[in-house]
């Protein structure tokens, strides 16, 4: 029997496995692909590791660090292995896997899910038209270009103003595509400011805000798209339809935590983050089952996703040691101007501060305010600038919230 099974061999899964192995636990790491690394294998741009390592690494370099650690610590790795079934009742967790070795069963005392997220597809944003060749998601294009050296097309339309869309636009520009246009419904790009500057403005890549794709045109291959202007509430403006000729449409319209599998074992799912409901050590509502990385919520930086894996590993240690929990868990709730918040509850006896991640609903100078159920301010932190596109991280000392029956987090504009 294993102490811990980590499902998912991306950066968060490897980080959790490494931390747990360093603690002396017998760990198995399961990855459905033929190699470890997750999505970072296809992210050849730099910018990873600035918080953890103090320098900008490419995706493969960042992943390679953890691959080396996994191998050095002797973590049992199962590649090309799919987890078909999980039974998590009581102290014993049972998994059934399918791999080239056949169907196998694994028993464990705890599980860490680190299976990441998926890309939203065109049908989720209600794009009409036909279904010709030449329609991709941004992740598919990264894989084609960075791993296989295949350009998806020459006249590119990118839908979405987030980070991945901007990074893909820059890469396609450098690879010599004929033309690129980015459209998005927001007033300005929704990604990190550094990507706006380094990926778009520095290369003068054309973009159109307040613009959506109404439908895709083409029979065998994409011939173009019908673009349409929208107002500040993203409502289409009649009479603004325009045909834009292109041979490729790339959708970069957000990521969704891949939480369906956790839902199947009984874990509660947060409708805001679309990831599992977790306590301060990233334990789900199923005892002994933890989550980490983009499965919990979408992180802007892989460094923060890895930090969540380290915290989850500490939680596994507390669970396996049978440490005391609070008699009455304290709900941790999003207040005014907060779109998403993790964790969702405080459940353990511990002296370490609570690390929370929140996504603001406003933009500008602001205070992040921690208050109790009566409205009493327990702590607040100033932020020079907040925006919905940037996840905020705060540390809340335990003594600051001691005695509160409920804790709320607000973002107050200045």
Q: What is the pLDDT of residues 364-401, one digit of tens each?
A: 999 999 999 999 999 999 999 999 888 999 999 999 99
The pLDDT of residue 237: 96
Measure CA of the first residue to CA of the last residue in the chain; give whole Å: 55
- Of the listed ranges 20-24, 127-131, 204-208, the least confidently predicted one is 127-131
What angle do helix axes 302-321 and 11-22 make, rounded to 10 degrees? Answer: 40
Task: Over range 333-356, report the average pLDDT.
Answer: 96
Q: What angle do CA 147, 198, 216 make, to 5 degrees?
A: 60
- Of the listed ranges 17-26, 185-194, 351-360, the least confidently predicted one is 185-194
The pLDDT of residue 18: 98
The pLDDT of residue 369: 97
Q: Which of 41, 38, 71 is nearest to 58 (CA)?
A: 41
Task: Over range 235-256, report the average pLDDT.
Answer: 95
Task: Over range 311-337, report the average pLDDT.
Answer: 96
Q: Residue 45 phi/psi, 5° resolution? A: -75, 160
Residue 386 DSSP SS3: strand
| CATH code reported for the domain at 121-253 | 3.50.50.60
- Say how many C-beta atoms besides its own lie within 10 A of residue 301's C-beta: 18
The pLDDT of residue 364: 94
pLDDT over 90 at 305, yes or no: yes
Task: Over range 239-266, report the average pLDDT.
Answer: 95
Which residues are CB-contacts of 250 (< 8 A; sequence separation ≥ 6)? 136, 137, 138, 141, 152, 156, 157, 158, 159, 165, 168
Task: Over range 15-27, report the average pLDDT.
Answer: 97
The pLDDT of residue 190: 87
The pLDDT of residue 336: 96
The pLDDT of residue 191: 84
pLDDT over 90 at 123, yes or no: no
User: What pLDDT band is residue 121 in, cutting at 50, 70 and 90?
Assistant: confident
Q: Give the model confidence (pLDDT) of 145-194 as tens digits.
A: 999 999 999 999 999 999 999 999 999 999 999 899 999 999 999 888 88
The pLDDT of residue 324: 92
- Asked if residues 165 and 257 have their Cβ atoms less than 8 Å apart, the reply is no
- Asked if residues 203 and 224 have their Cβ atoms less than 8 Å apart, the reply is no
Residue ranges per domain, the chain? Answer: 1-119+254-323, 121-253, 330-414
**Helix (H), strand (E), coil (C) string for 210-271:** CEEEEEEEECCEEEEEEEEEECCCCCECCCCCEEEECCEEEECCCEEECCHHHHHCCCCECC
Q: What percent of the chain has pLDDT over 90?
A: 91
- Strand pairing report for 2-7 and 27-30: parallel
User: What pLDDT band is residue 361 in, cutting at 50, 70 and 90?
Assistant: very high
Q: Residue 237 phi/psi, 5° resolution? A: -100, 115
- For domain 1-119+254-323, the CATH architecture is 3-Layer(bba) Sandwich (3.50)
Q: How many whole angstroms separate alpha carbon 160 and alpha carbon 399?
A: 43
The pLDDT of residue 47: 87
Q: Can 121-253 and 330-414 be said to share one CATH topology?
A: no
- Asked if residues 293 and 9 have their Cβ atoms less than 8 Å apart, the reply is no
The pLDDT of residue 89: 84
pLDDT over 90 at 90, yes or no: no
Task: Over range 340-350, report the average pLDDT.
Answer: 95
The pLDDT of residue 262: 95
Q: Give the model confidence (pLDDT) of 28-80 as tens digits.
A: 999 999 999 999 999 988 889 999 999 999 999 999 999 999 999 999 999 99
Q: Residue 128 phi/psi, 5° resolution? A: -90, -170
Tell me the CA distances in angstroms from 32 to 3, 5, 355, 378, 386, one per residue in order. 21, 14, 30, 45, 37
| CATH code reported for the domain at 330-414 | 2.60.40
Q: Which residues on adjacent β-strands are paired with residue 78?
A: 30
Task: Over range 263-285, report the average pLDDT.
Answer: 97
The pLDDT of residue 192: 83
The pLDDT of residue 2: 96
Q: What percent of the chain has pLDDT over 70?
A: 100
Q: Give the model confidence (pLDDT) of 94-120 as tens digits.
A: 999 999 999 999 999 999 999 999 999
Round the average pLDDT of the chain to a whole number and report it.
Answer: 95
The pLDDT of residue 46: 87
Q: How many whole angstroms separate alpha carbon 296 and alpha carbon 341?
A: 10
């Amino acid at each position: 029997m294993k102490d811990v099974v980590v499902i998912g061999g991306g950066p968060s899964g490897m980080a959790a496995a490494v931390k747990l192995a360093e603690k002396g636990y017998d760990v198995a790491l399961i990855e459905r692909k033929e190699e470890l690394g997750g999505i970072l294998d296809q992210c050849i741009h730099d910018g990873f590791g600035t918080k953890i390592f103090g320098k900008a690494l490419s995706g493969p370099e960042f992943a390679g660090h953890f691959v080396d650690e996994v191998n050095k610590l002797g973590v049992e790795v199962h590649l090309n292995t799919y987890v078909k079934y999980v039974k998590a009742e009581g102290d014993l967790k049972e998994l059934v896997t399918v791999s080239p070795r056949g169907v196998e069963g694994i028993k464990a005392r705890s599980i860490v899910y680190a299976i990441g997220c998926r890309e939203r597809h065109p049908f989720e944003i209600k794009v009409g038209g036909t279904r010709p060749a030449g329609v991709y998601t941004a992740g598919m294009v990264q894989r084609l270009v960075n791993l296989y050296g295949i350009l998806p097309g020459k006249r590119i339309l990118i839908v979405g103003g987030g980070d991945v869309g901007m990074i893909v636009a820059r890469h396609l520009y450098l690879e010599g595509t004929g033309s690129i246009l980015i459209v998005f419904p927001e007033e300005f790009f929704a990604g990190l400011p550094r990507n706006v500057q380094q990926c778009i403005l520095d290369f003068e890549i054309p973009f159109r805000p307040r613009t959506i794709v109404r439908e895709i045109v083409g029979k065998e291959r994409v011939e173009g798209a019908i673009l349409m202007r929208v107002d500040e509430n993203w409502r289409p403006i009649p009479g603004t339809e325009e045909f834009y000729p292109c041979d490729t449409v790339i959708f970069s319209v957000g990521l969704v935590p891949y939480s369906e599998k956790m839902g199947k074992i009984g874990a509660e799912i947060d409708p805001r983050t679309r990831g599992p409901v977790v306590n301060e050590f990233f334990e789900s509502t199923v005892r002994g089952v933890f989550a980490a990385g983009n499965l919990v919520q979408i992180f802007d930086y892989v460094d923060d996703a890895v930090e969540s894996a380290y915290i989850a590993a500490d939680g596994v240690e507390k669970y396996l040691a049978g440490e005391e929990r609070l008699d009455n868990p304290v709900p941790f709730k999003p207040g005014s101007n907060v779109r998403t918040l993790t964790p969702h509850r405080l459940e353990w006896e511990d002296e370490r501060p609570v690390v929370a991640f929140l996504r603001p609903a406003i933009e500008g100078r602001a205070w992040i305010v921690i208050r109790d159920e009566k409205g009493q301010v327990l702590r607040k932190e100033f932020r020079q600038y907040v925006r919905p596109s940037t996840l905020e991280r705060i540390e809340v000392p335990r003594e600051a919230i001691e005695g509160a029956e409920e804790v709320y987090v607000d973002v107050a504009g200045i």
